[in-house]
């Protein structure tokens, strides 16, 4: 495979940084576009060319994309709990529109767009859903899913109307080491690994995938994907109970003992949403977040295997690796705190 000139947008994020590392490891000429204040711990030390600016900075995007063969777009606002949908549509749709306008004129070989399994329909009659399953839960996904669906359709509009060579990767919940922020789902794994997650929600789960496998799917899509197509990037379904028990066992901790029934979760979502409206505050566990937890079913990633040659590893391995990462980070913090206390006694 010849060396390619690539641009990663969103390279400081969990998935974007994994994509960046894999590109560097295989010897590509890698350029990244970062916001000035981005935390870059996951890509520090990598041989990449850094450009600064955000997706609304037309000049910065144009300069960063100039002369590139492939663009990996890993930028997204995932704050599904926001009461005001405007920021979601501003970033996920309007910001993307400006980037696509530049990409359509850039003579790219491929534009790889990171989408979500939230754009895929739910399984019917126990048959796993796939890329052709019509979306059947629009009334439950709130502004977040509406913005992600609009973003994906916008990409395909540019494929049809402007000839943009783009593919969309519908990625599930990602797990593994390097989740520094961490992601909302990663933070729960961290709590479970540390023995600080007393309860889980019964009757919910997620389609999951290891972070390195997800990143590899994006690289394969750049090579083997078909323009205008989308690909499911998940490995398996894991219940909340199994996921957090696995993380707890990795950390030698006691698994969450209490299973909160689904009706209680739904009621809690309504109560929190009402409180948010009253207090004019955003709470992460609101009605929309609960609906997103419930709107998960089995997905078939067979298309990605057939067309991209993507064969994921068991996500349980990535969950264990992610739990170990959180445990080591906790140990490092405690060690640093102890050193500071010895240097600066009260």
- Per residue of the chain (346 residues), give pLDDT as tens: 568 999 999 999 999 999 999 999 999 999 999 998 889 999 999 999 999 999 999 999 999 999 999 999 999 999 999 999 999 999 999 999 999 999 999 999 999 999 999 999 999 888 999 999 999 988 888 999 999 999 999 999 999 999 999 999 999 999 999 999 899 999 999 999 999 999 999 989 999 999 999 999 999 999 999 999 999 999 999 999 999 999 999 999 999 999 999 899 889 989 999 999 999 999 988 888 888 888 888 999 999 999 999 999 999 999 999 999 999 999 988 776 655 555 666 5
Question: CA–CA separation, 21 vs 293, rounded Å?
Answer: 30
Place of tokens 């349980």: 316
Q: Is 149 exposed, middle or buried (CB count within 10 Å of its CB: 0-12, 13-18, 19+)? A: buried
Q: Give yes or no for a contact between 270 and 287, defined as CB atoms under 8 angstroms apart.
A: yes
- Smallest CA-to-CA distance from 103 within 54, 190, 57, 162 is with 162
Can you give the C-alpha Rg of the chain in angstroms?
20
Which pair of tokens denotes residue 159? Answer: 């494929």
Q: What is the pLDDT of residue 343?
A: 60
Q: Give yes or no for a contact between 96 and 156, defined as CB atoms under 8 angstroms apart.
A: no
Query: What element of type H or E holds 148?
Result: helix 142-162
CA 304 to chain centroid? 17
Which pair of tokens denotes residue 12? Answer: 């400081």
Q: What is the pLDDT of residue 339?
A: 59
Architecture of the 5-181+207-239+298-318 domain: 3-Layer(aba) Sandwich (3.40)
Q: What is the pLDDT of residue 342?
A: 58
Q: What is the pLDDT of residue 335?
A: 76
156 CB neighbour count, 10 Å cutoff:
18
Question: CA–CA separation, 31 vs 218, rounded Å?
Answer: 16
The residue ranges of every structural domain in the chain are 5-181+207-239+298-318
């Amino acid at each position: 495979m010849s060396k390619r000139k690539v641009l990663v947008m969103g390279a400081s994020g969990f998935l974007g940084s994994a994509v960046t590392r894999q590109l560097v490891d295989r010897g590509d000429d890698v350029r990244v576009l970062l916001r000035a204040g981005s935390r870059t711990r996951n890509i520090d030390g990598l041989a990449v060319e850094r450009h600064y600016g955000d997706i609304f900075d037309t000049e910065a995007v144009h300069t960063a994309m100039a002369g590139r063969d492939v663009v990996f777009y890993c930028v997204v606002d995932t704050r599904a709990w926001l009461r005001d949908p405007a920021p979601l549509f501003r970033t996920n749709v309007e910001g993307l529109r400006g980037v696509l306008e530049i990409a359509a004129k850039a003579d790219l070989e491929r534009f790889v767009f990171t989408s979500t399994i939230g754009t895929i329909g739910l399984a019917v009659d126990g048959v796993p859903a796939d890329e052709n399953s019509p979306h059947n839960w629009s009334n439950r996904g709130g502004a977040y899913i509406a913005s992600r669906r609009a973003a994906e359709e916008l990409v395909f509009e540019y494929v049809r109307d402007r000839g943009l060579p783009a593919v969309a990767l519908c990625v599930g919940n990602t797990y593994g080491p390097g989740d520094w922020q961490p992601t909302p789902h990663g933070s729960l794994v961290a709590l479970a690994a540390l023995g600080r997650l007393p309860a889980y929600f019964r009757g919910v789960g997620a389609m999951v995938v290891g972070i390195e496998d997800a990143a590899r799917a994006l690289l394969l899509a750049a090579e083997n994907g078909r323009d205008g197509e989308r690909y499911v990037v998940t490995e398996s379904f894991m219940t909340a109970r199994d996921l957090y028990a696995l993380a707890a066992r990795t950390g030698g901790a006691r698994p969450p003992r209490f299973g909160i029934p689904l009706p209680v979760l739904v009621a809690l979502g309504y109560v929190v949403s009402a409180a948010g409206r009253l207090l004019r505050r955003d709470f992460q566990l609101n009605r929309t977040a609960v609906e997103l937890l419930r709107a998960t079913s089995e997905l078939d990633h067979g298309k990605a295997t057939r067309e991209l040659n993507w064969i994921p590893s068991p996500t349980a391995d990535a969950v264990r690796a992610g739990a170990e990462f959180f445990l080591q980070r906790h140990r490092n913090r405690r060690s640093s705190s102890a050193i500071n206390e010895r240097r600066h006694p009260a």
